[in-house]
C-alpha cells in the first residue's frame, strides 16, 4: 500500500505551502517507505509515498501521460493492467507500473474509464490542460481514502486522516465505488452491481462456478515483483486462500522470482485456537510457516499505536487490529512486502455466528448487502491500515468484483444456516471446496466453526482488554459519558478507553464522525440485532456473544460444561474471568 495526499486549488503556490504539503505527506511515510514524490502545478499539489510492489526500479510516482499534461498519484494495484495496456496500442508507457495505465485510459475514455479497472485503488488525476481533476476509490473500499475541504475553497485528498485533519475545516471518508469530478462539482457512484439494490437474487447454487471464480480471484493477486506470503489463521477463509495460492503458485512469475514454496504467517496468544489450527493447515499444504506469539500485555502496550494508525475507536476493529498490527511488523522484518488475506467471506456468505438467527432468506441477503457496503469502515480499514503501518500490502481475493457478483447472485436460501440438514455457516463456500478426489483442506478444517480474528488469537485477549480498560475508566466517567461524547456515546469501559485515546490523536468533530456506531452483537449491523430479543442485553462484538451458537459462548459454554456435555479440550478456551461451577451451582461472572 502506498500513501497519497493531494491539495487541489488552494490559492497558494508559495514555497511555504509546498513545505507544508511535504510535511503532511511525511505523516503517511509508513505506508510507502520506498520513495517519495511531489508534483506541483500552480496551486495544485499531488504527493505520493511509495511501497514498491510492481516494477520497483522505475514505477515511482506521480505518473504521467506522454506529454505530462495528465498527472496521477495512486495507491493500489491494477490486476488487469496488462490487458488494459494492450487496449491502448497508440500510447507509450513510461514505466512497468500497473498504475501507469490510468492516465492513458483517461486520455482515451475521459472520466468513464474507472469501471474498466480491476483491482484495489484510490487515486487523484489532474488534467493540467484545464486544471480539472477526478478522485476515485475502488468498489468496496479496500484502500482507505478521505476527502476534506479548506476555508480557502481547496479540496484535500488523503489515504489517512492524519494527512488532512489539521488543515481542513471539514473532512470525511471518501465513499467506496465513487468518483469525484471537479467538472461536475460532486460525487457520483461508478460501481453499480445488481446486488447493491438489495433485491433478492434467484440464481441456483453452482459450487463449481463459485470455486472457479475464487481461484481466478486468487491467481490474479499473485502479480508481484517482491516477496509475499499468506495470512493463515486456520479458519475457513484464510485456509482456502492459502490452499488455492499453494495450488496455483507453481509456474507463475512470482514463483520463478521467489520460489514455489509458499510462506504463511499466523499470530496468537500461546496455545490459542488459531495457532493450533494454522499449524495443522500449514503442515497439510506444505508451506513455510511462521508463527508469532504475543502476550496480552504486548497487545495492551500497542493499543495507542494501533488507534493512531487504524484511526478508529470501534471496539471490534481495535480488538482485531492489534494482533494484526503486531504480526505485520514481524512479517515486514522478514523482508516480505505483500500478503494475501481472507477478509470479506463472512460478509458475502453470512458467516458470522449471528446469522444462525436470520429469520428468512430475504433478511439474510439484505444483511449481507449491508455488511459488504460497510466493509470499508471495519475489516477493510483494519486490514489496510494494520498492515500499511509497517509498509506491508494486504490483498483480499474474496472482495474481487467478479467473485462478489457470482456469490451475491446465489439464491440466499442456499446461504441459510440449517444445522438439521447439515448446513452450517458459509456452507455454500465449504461445499464448493469439498473435493474428495483432490482435497483442498482436511475435512475438520473445512468445516471448522467460525472464529472472529479477535477471538481466535486467544479468548483471554478480549478479557484482558476489558480488565485493562476497567483500570482506567471508572463508574463516574461512564455516568457522564453521554455529556462528553455526544456522538456514538461509549456504553462500555472498553469503548470509553479507546475513545479517549482516539480523541487525543484526532480531536476534530469530523474525525469522530468517520467512525461508525450503533448496537451490534457478534459483528452484526444494528438492524440484525432485532433478530433476537435477548441480544439487546448482550451487545458485544465478540463471536462468543452469539448466545446459544458459539461452542465457547460467554454463558452457554459454562452452562454446558457444568452439565458435563462440553468436551474437555474445549474447556481450556473458557474466558479466564469466568468460573465454571459444579453441577447445580450458580455460574458467576
Q: Output the known binding site for ATP.
A: 231, 267, 341-342
Count CB-CB contacts under 10 A for residue 516: 18
- Residue that is written with C-alpha cell 482488554 in the block: 465
Assess whether 99 carries a catalytic annotation.
Answer: no
Contact between 157 and 5 under an 8 Å Cβ cutoff? The reply is: yes
Residue 137: strand, helix, or coil: strand
Given the residues 2, 99, 369, 523, the one annotated as active site:
2
Q: Is 570 exposed, middle or buried (0-12, 13-18, 19+ CB in 10 A)?
A: middle
Backbone angles phi, psi at 275, to 5 degrees: -60, -45
CA dihedral sign of residues 319, 541, 464, 561: negative
Contact between 52 and 100 under an 8 Å Cβ cutoff? The reply is: no
3-state SS record for 388-429: HCCCCEEECHHHCHHHHHHHCCECHHHHCCEHHHCECCCHHH
Nearest-angstrom CA–CA distance, 534 and 530: 9
C-alpha to C-alpha distances, 395 to 75, 143, 368, 384, nearest whole angstrom: 13, 10, 21, 9
Nearest-angstrom CA–CA distance, 537 and 521: 10
Nearest-angstrom CA–CA distance, 281 and 184: 51
Nearest-angstrom CA–CA distance, 47 and 52: 15
Q: With CA atoms as reference, report the closest residue to 289 among 321, 261, 323, 326.
A: 261
Nearest-angstrom CA–CA distance, 84 and 81: 5
Contact between 309 and 389 under an 8 Å Cβ cutoff? The reply is: yes
CA dihedral sign of residues 89, 95, 98, 101: negative
Binding residues for L-glutamine: 98
Count CB-CB contacts under 10 A for residue 335: 8
Q: With CA atoms as reference, report the closest residue to 120 among 149, 104, 98, 105.
A: 98
Residue ranges of the alpha helices (H) in 68-206? 81-86, 101-109
Residue 155: DSSP 8-state: E
- Please count the residues of the chain: 589
Nearest-angstrom CA–CA distance, 479 and 496: 11
Q: With CA atoms as reference, report the closest residue to 528 among 317, 410, 359, 372.
A: 359
Q: Please, what's the b/e burial string for 381-419 (b: 16 or more CB within 10 A of its CB; e: otherwise)?
A: bbbbbbbbbbbbbbbbbbbbbebbebbbbbbbbbbbbee
Nearest-angstrom CA–CA distance, 156 and 137: 14
Binding residues: 98, 231, 267, 341-342
Known catalytic residues are: 2
Amino acid at each position: 500500500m502506498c500513501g497519497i495526499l493531494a491539495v487541489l486549488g488552494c490559492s497558494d503556490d508559495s514555497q511555504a505551502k509546498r513545505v507544508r504539503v511535504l510535511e503532511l505527506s511525511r505523516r503517511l511515510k509508513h505506508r510507502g517507505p520506498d520513495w517519495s514524490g511531489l508534483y506541483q502545478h500552480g496551486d495544485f499539489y499531488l504527493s505520493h509515498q511509495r511501497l514498491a510492489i510492481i516494477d520497483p526500479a522505475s514505477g515511482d510516482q506521480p505518473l504521467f501521460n506522454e506529454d505530462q499534461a495528465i498527472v496521477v498519484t495512486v495507491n493500489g494495484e491494477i490486476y488487469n493492467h496488462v490487458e488494459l495496456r494492450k487496449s491502448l496500442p497508440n500510447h507509450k508507457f513510461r514505466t512497468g507500473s500497473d498504475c501507469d495505465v490510468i492516465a492513458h485510459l483517461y486520455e482515451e475514455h475521459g472520466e468513464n474509464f474507472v469501471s474498466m479497472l480491476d483491482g484495489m485503488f484510490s487515486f487523484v488525476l489532474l488534467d493540467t490542460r484545464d486544471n480539472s481533476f477526478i478522485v476515485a476509490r475502488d468498489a468496496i473500499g479496500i484502500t482507505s481514502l478521505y476527502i476534506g475541504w479548506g476555508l480557502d475553497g481547496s479540496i484535500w485528498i488523503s489515504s489517512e486522516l492524519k494527512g488532512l485533519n489539521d488543515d481542513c475545516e471539514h473532512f470525511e471518508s471518501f465513499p467506496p465505488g465513487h468518483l469525484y469530478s471537479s467538472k461536475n462539482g460532486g460525487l457520483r457512484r461508478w460501481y453499480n452491481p445488481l446486488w447493491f439494490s438489495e433485491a433478492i437474487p434467484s440464481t441456483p447454487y453452482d459450487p463449481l462456478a463459485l470455486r472457479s471464480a475464487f481461484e481466478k480471484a486468487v491467481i490474479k493477486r499473485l502479480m508481484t515483483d517482491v516477496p509475499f506470503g499468506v495470512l493463515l489463521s486456520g479458519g475457513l477463509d484464510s485456509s482456502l486462500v492459502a490452499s488455492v495460492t499453494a495450488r496455483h503458485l507453481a509456474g507463475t512469475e512470482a514463483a520463478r522470482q521467489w520460489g514455489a514454496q509458499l510462506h504463511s504467517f499466523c499470530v496468537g496468544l500461546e496455545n490459542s485456537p488459531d495457532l493450533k489450527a494454522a499449524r495443522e493447515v500449514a503442515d497439510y499444504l506444505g508451506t513455510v510457516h511462521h508463527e508469532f506469539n504475543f502476550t496480552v500485555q504486548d497487545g495492551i502496550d500497542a493499543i495507542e499505536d494501533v488507534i493512531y494508525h487504524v484511526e478508529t475507536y470501534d471496539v471490534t476493529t481495535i480488538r482485531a487490529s492489534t494482533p494484526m498490527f503486531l504480526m505485520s511488523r514481524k512479517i515486514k522484518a522478514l523482508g516480505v512486502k505483500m500478503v494475501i488475506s481472507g477478509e470479506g467471506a463472512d460478509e458475502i456468505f453470512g458467516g458470522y455466528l449471528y446469522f444462525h438467527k436470520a429469520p428468512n432468506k430475504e433478511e439474510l441477503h439484505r444483511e449481507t448487502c449491508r455488511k459488504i457496503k460497510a466493509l470499508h469502515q471495519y475489516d477493510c480499514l483494519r486490514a489496510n491500515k494494520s498492515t500499511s503501518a509497517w509498509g506491508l500490502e494486504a490483498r483480499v481475493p474474496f472482495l474481487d468484483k467478479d467473485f462478489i457478483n457470482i456469490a451475491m447472485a446465489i439464491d440466499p436460501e442456499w446461504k441459510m444456516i440449517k444445522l438439521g440438514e447439515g448446513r452450517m455457516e458459509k456452507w455454500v463456500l465449504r461445499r464448493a471446496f469439498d473435493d474428495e478426489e483432490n482435497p483442498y483442506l482436511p475435512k475438520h478444517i473445512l468445516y471448522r466453526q467460525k472464529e472472529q480474528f479477535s477471538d481466535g488469537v486467544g479468548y483471554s485477549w478480549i478479557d484482558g482488554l476489558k480488565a485493562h480498560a476497567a483500570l482506567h475508566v471508572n463508574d463516574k466517567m461512564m455516568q457522564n459519558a453521554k455529556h462528553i461524547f455526544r456522538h456514538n456515546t461509549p456504553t462500555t469501559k472498553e469503548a470509553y478507553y479507546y475513545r479517549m485515546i482516539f480523541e487525543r490523536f484526532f480531536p476534530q468533530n469530523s474525525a469522530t464522525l468517520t467512525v461508525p456506531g450503533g448496537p451490534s452483537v457478534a459483528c452484526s449491523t444494528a438492524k440484525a440485532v432485532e433478530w433476537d430479543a435477548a441480544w439487546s442485553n448482550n451487545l458485544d462484538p465478540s463471536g462468543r456473544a452469539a448466545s446459544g451458537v458459539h461452542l465457547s459462548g460467554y454463558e452457554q459454554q459454562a452452562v454446558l460444561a457444568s452439565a458435563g456435555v462440553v468436551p474437555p479440550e474445549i474447556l481450556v478456551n473458557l474466558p479466564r474471568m469466568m468460573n465454571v461451577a459444579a453441577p447445580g451451582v450458580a455460574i458467576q461472572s
